[in-house]
Amino acid sequence: MNRFAFFRRIAWAVLLLMTACAAPKETAVVVERATRTEKPPSTEETVRTSRPKLDLTPFPAGYDTVRARRFDGGKMWTFDHPPVDYFEQAYGFRPDTTWFEEARLAALRFSSYCSASFVSPNGLVMTNHHCGRESVTEVDPELLDGGFYASSLEEEQKVKDLYVDQLIALKDVTDEVYSVPETVRTEDERAKARRRNAEALEKRMTDEVKARDSTLYVQVIALYNGGKYSAYTYRRYDDVRLVMAPELQIGYFGGDWDNFTYPRYNLDMSFFRVYDREGKPLRTEHFYPWSADGPAAGEAVFVVGNPGSTSRLNTVSRLEYERDYNLPQSLSVLESRAKILFDYISKHPDEADRYDLRNPYFSISNSLKAQRGQLEGLRDPYLMARRVAGERDLQQAVAADDSLLKRYGKLWAEIAQLQESKRATSEQSRAFTFFSNPNLSSHVLTRALYGYVHALMRQRGFPPDQIEEVYTEAVKIKDWPAEVERAFIAERLSELLDVLGPLDPTTKRILGDRSPEEVAAELVDSTALMDSTAFRALLEKGFLRSGDPVVRVIEAMGPLYFTLNQQLQSFEEREQALNARLARVRFAVFGTDTPPDATFSLRIADGVVRGYPYNGTKAPEVTTFFGLYDRYFSFPGRREWALPEYWLDPPETFDPSTPVNLVTTNDITGGNSGSPLVNRDLKIVGLIFDGNIESLPNQYIYTDETARAVAVDARGILEALDEIYDADRLVLELTSGRLFPTEEEADGEQSSRD
């Protein structure tokens, strides 16, 4: 579980603690402000004596002739319901159950944030460079710039806490989750009961599989916004070792300028290896063989990966809330934090590397560009009209059926009313956007938040394992430079001042008559929370009784944050309940013709290799290494397009006409980094690493006119490994499946072949 999901889970425990204490007056004021405007919508079903009316969602002005299209909901198909008939119709081949099983078992989840795949029978794993970037710096920070290649098995470096998960079985458990007593009448309570059922089922099934194999666990996944539930059984491998990663200049060639663009020239790749319990390379029966030929233009290709999240089944009213409130607030925070990190990295590059600031900066920059593109999509009236058209199709089907109308006719109005309730809290939410995210918030304040929770849990006698879990997460937060901390704290306090005003009791308690910058400077100069060792000692002694100057700040902010968090979680739970009902009616009308939104669970997405029109010309299906050199010479002296010395003097046998990147129509929006791109023979033809700028609105609706997935071409990977990096051991393993313990043995084999 990542830190942010963890913090959301413990929020309820904190709120229970707070209810036992006298809440500060300023907390009551915020709750009153947030709820005074709008009464929370009821989700109870009522029986009407007359036929209810369903008001259709209105089109944007001038777009009432727009119609929905077949694949507006995307092509991220689950392995529960693979679209065999559609594949046959579209591509002329009908994959059987063995084909889907092989596709599933060769695919992996890479930690909690990326996808990967087995690419040899010896546990060799391929993913993106940007997925493995933190692992590379974990092994040795200097490897991020210098790159790494293990010339023998002994040199392959184990990465602390890194794991990969393989999906080995799946089962529909919808009926078990939906088994709720008739005495539970309101939809809110039934939704909570379903959630409890899912959690209990997940625990029971995990206990059962672990009894026979400790590497197994079960995750009960909500699909279609909770309209369907599947139990996915995973096998976890936790001995994962770094094999190869190129230099940052090659793995992130073009930097933020080229991010989400095409044509592109990027070797965004890295290789790891899974080891078994005996410390030997894992024998993997299921893996994707390598295609030396690569894909042809127009060829059918498939992405097998774990997209993080999409919003294609959300209602139009929810998208309008995202457009008008959530995304603008998020972008404001991202922009301010990115500027702070950029300025510091530019002025102090060595110190920035020592504190590993480039990785969070790259992550923020990526999010900035992605969310700007998403917001632009939501502001496009044609895109919104397509979403309205799809929503109206479902509404009209419901309106035409009396039983559906009585049961579900109020859903859209209730969800829209809920968005109004969320709008009433949006101003307070702005002050705490990303508050518990260490990449986007002061590490001092984040540590204080954990210290606050940890102390309250100890005071109230929480179970030791829960207290230890908070402690473990808290001490993972790393130290940051004082200059960055001062700027981050000042930004957070400025946002709080802007939202609450100078006369608010919370603001006065924190700032008094001083500016956010003055308070931030004082805190950084005097708090023990700047140092990880000192922070650990405070946690053990009792943070709230420590007298540290940050205590008074978090005692003012903490209740406010958690009370608001409770309110937002309440809205989210209510919306999840309503969306689950919406999913049930969608099933009743359309079945599984539309795949569910992404949930970081395994999907297979179909597409073809295809260029597209852009900038008044045409983007080609593939780019070559010639383009990489063109970028270098076109921007002399620019770090983004700089090349390592040996790339500037490649061997004579290096072929710069080799394809390096390619584009396809596959549906990858939502975070499919590291996913393998395979042909119908399940051979690797590429490695997904990005989408183009035109694909960013695909978060809300799938289009393929100009939206494209961007992949590293399998041919470019081999050419670089062979000719530039002289990684014969890796090249031969990819092409033949044979494991060579040393580079010398691989060189001997290569010489005999030559």
Amino acid at position 94, single letter: R
Confidence of residue 21 (pLDDT cuts 50, 70, 90): very low
Average pLDDT over residues 663-670: 96
CA angle 138, 487, 453 (to 5 degrees): 70
Confidence of residue 186 (pLDDT cuts 50, 70, 90): confident
* Six-digit token string for 752: 């005999």
DSSP string for residues in 509-567? HHHTTS-HHHHHHHHHHH-GGGSHHHHHHHHHH-GGGS--HHHHHHHHHHHHHHHHHHH
* Six-digit token string for 308: 């993080």
Instruction: Name the region of 253 (left: φ>0; alpha: ψ -120 to 50; beta: rest).
Output: beta
CA distances from 746 to 120, 272, 726 (A): 16, 18, 10
Q: Which residues contact 496 (CB under 8 A, 6 or more apart)?
A: 431, 506, 507, 510, 557
pLDDT score at 752? 78
DSSP string for residues in 261-289? -SS------EEEEEB-TTSSB---SS-PP
Residue with tokens 């084999």: 749
CA angle 43, 414, 59 (to 5 degrees): 160
Amino acid at position 389, single letter: A
CA distances from 293 to 290, 476, 679, 687 (A): 9, 45, 11, 15
User: For 407, how many CA atoms within 13 A lie in the half-sphere containing its CB?
Assistant: 14
* Six-digit token string for 464: 């030791």
Confidence of residue 9 (pLDDT cuts 50, 70, 90): low
C-alpha span between 468 and 474 (Å, rounded): 10
pLDDT score at 23? 34
* Six-digit token string for 312: 């294609």
- If you average pLDDT over every residue of the chain, what do you get? 92
pLDDT score at 4? 45
* Six-digit token string for 505: 């009791």
Higher pLDDT, 14 or 463: 463
| Residue 176 pLDDT greater than 60, yes or no | yes
Contact 51, 609 (CB under 8 A): no
Secondary structure percentages of the chain, helix, strand, coil, to 5: 50, 15, 35
Contact 588, 581 (CB under 8 A): no
C-alpha span between 349 and 355 (Å, rounded): 10
Average pLDDT over residues 463-483: 95
Confidence of residue 247 (pLDDT cuts 50, 70, 90): very high
C-alpha span between 427 and 429 (Å, rounded): 5
Contact 68, 316 (CB under 8 A): no
pLDDT score at 190? 86
pLDDT score at 6? 53
Contact 428, 33 (CB under 8 A): yes
Amino acid at position 354, single letter: R
H-helix or E-strand containing 603? strand 603-608
Percent of the chain surpassing pLDDT 90: 85
Q: pLDDT digit string (tens) for 502-550?
A: 999 999 999 999 999 999 999 999 999 999 999 999 999 999 999 999 9
Q: pLDDT digit string (tens) for 408-462?
A: 999 999 999 999 999 998 888 889 999 988 889 999 999 999 999 999 999 999 9
Confidence of residue 7 (pLDDT cuts 50, 70, 90): low
Long-range contacts of 320-326 (CB under 8 A, 24+ apart): 320/378, 320/419, 321/419, 321/422, 321/423, 322/378, 323/375, 323/378, 323/379, 324/423, 325/422, 325/423, 325/426, 326/426
Nearest CA among 360, 268, 365 for reference residue 689: 268
H-helix or E-strand containing 48? none
Q: pLDDT digit string (tens) for 564-586?
A: 999 998 999 899 889 989 988 99
H-helix or E-strand containing 47? none
Q: Which residues contact 198 (CB under 8 A, 6 or more apart)?
A: 173, 177, 220, 222, 229
Nearest CA among 724, 694, 718 for reference residue 707: 694
Nearest CA among 530, 386, 539, 352 for reference residue 452: 539
Question: Computed from CA positions of residues 39, 42, 46, 48, in that sequence, does the dihedral angle turn out positive or negative?
Answer: positive
Residue with tokens 């480039």: 358
User: For 48, how many CA atoms within 13 A lie in the half-sphere containing its CB?
Assistant: 15
